[in-house]
Amino acid sequence: MFTLTEPPLFTRLRDARRVLIAGAGGGFDVYTGLPLAFALRAAGKEVHLANLSFADLYGLPAEVWVAPDVAAIGPGTPARGDYFPEHALARWLDGQGLPSTVYAFARTGVAPLREAYRALVGHLGGVDAVVLVDGGTDILMRGDEHGLGTPEEDMASLAAVAALDVPERLVVCLGFGVDAYHGVNHALVLENLAALDREDGYLGAFSVPRRSAEGAAYLDAVAHAQEATASHPSIVQGSVAAAVRGQFGDVRFTERTKGGELFVNPLMAVYFCVDVPALARRNLYLDRLAETVLMRQISSRIEEFRDELPRLRAPRAFPH
């Protein structure tokens, strides 16, 4: 039973002692989980961070590899190029005196990613909960929407975690609206959340307050990351950070958005939380991805599925 005095996400995590928070969609997604990680650590829980990585991991030294397709990145890990979000985060954590290992999953298909997750869970001595974090909301797309955003990495992570034998498996999304650039219609996102709610799979929403220790630390971490990867700063995290600061509209924080128009707003600073098994059950093609080995196979399976659909759910405008 849930109550208004405690967000359902924290009710589900109340008894968890060791929690793995993992970026689902690659890039800087792991930063999406930082406010949650700080809150859980303050509550006395052991929290570990991981991320599906877009970095070139395979040239890293042998000693960083926990298992095939998962590496332990620390502040002293050799950086290959200036785009290495896991390394940037490890350096920031170290500077704050916090545990500074960030585990990086290679960008693979579902089958090797599933085994990498199992290996990491074993390496950590077991976990009580895995929380997938998504910068944006395209992980909530079920497959028949007009636009899916960039689903490959999110679906690989969702399928891998759905197969884990872990007591609690959850998804949290931060950055409502940022996926519009990739064709996601957010009226359909809300429709999907309503359907999950009817199946007890939606765990509500709550915002990241600027005037909180977690919000302040998140803003500092994002600012550090933007400086560390100046050639390719995160538009998603920059947008969320702007929303946490209370900015609105076409906020400019990188040349990467030149020529476009942003709509930064308070909803971008809201966590939307769902249950992994419920989300996986509602996905219309996730079972087709189970034995994929390469990311491009996931792309092909999704394309094949969508070619078979008689029609797609049309985008809808917000009525107010």
Domain membership of residue 195 as a residue range: 8-230+270-308
For 22, the 3-state DSSP assignment is: strand
Strand-pairing partners, residue 134, are 173
Confidence of residue 236 (pLDDT cuts 50, 70, 90): very high
| pLDDT value, residue 109 | 98
35-84 confidence digits (pLDDT tens): 999 999 999 999 999 999 999 998 899 999 999 999 999 999 998 778 99
| pLDDT value, residue 248 | 95
Does 290 map to a domain? yes
- Looking at residues 160-179, what average pLDDT do you find? 98
Tell me the C-alpha distance between 199 and 158, whole Å: 18
Residue 260 pLDDT greater than 90, yes or no: no
| pLDDT value, residue 318 | 84
Domain count, the chain: 1
User: Among the listed ranges 10-19, 27-36, 79-88, 234-243, which one has the minimum average pLDDT value?
Assistant: 79-88
Among 260, 261, 215, 257, residue whose Cα is nearest residue 240:
215
Residue 257 pLDDT greater than 80, yes or no: no
| pLDDT value, residue 46 | 98
Does 238 map to a domain? no
Residue 216 pLDDT greater than 80, yes or no: yes
Does 319 map to a domain? no
Does 82 map to a domain? yes
Q: Please report how many Cα atoms fall inside a 13 Å half-sphere around the Cα of residue 291, on the Cβ side.
A: 0
- H or E element, residue 189: helix 186-198
**Beta strands 46-52 and 65-67: pairing type?**
unpaired
Is the Cβ–Cβ distance between 160 and 114 less than 8 Å?
yes
| pLDDT value, residue 319 | 83
Tell me the C-alpha distance between 266 and 255, whole Å: 23
Does 154 map to a domain? yes
- Residue 48 structure tokens: 């570990």
For 169, the 3-state DSSP assignment is: strand
92-150 confidence digits (pLDDT tens): 999 999 999 999 999 999 999 999 999 999 999 999 999 999 999 999 999 999 999 99
Within 10 angstroms of residue 96's Cβ, the number of other Cβ atoms is 14
Residue 287 pLDDT greater than 80, yes or no: yes
Q: Between 8 and 250, whose confidence is greater?
A: 8
Confidence of residue 28 (pLDDT cuts 50, 70, 90): very high
| pLDDT value, residue 259 | 73
195-205 confidence digits (pLDDT tens): 999 999 999 99
| pLDDT value, residue 258 | 74
Does 259 map to a domain? no
Tell me the C-alpha distance between 153 and 299, whole Å: 10
Tell me the C-alpha distance between 262 and 256, whole Å: 11
Indicate the pTM of the whole model. Answer: 0.97
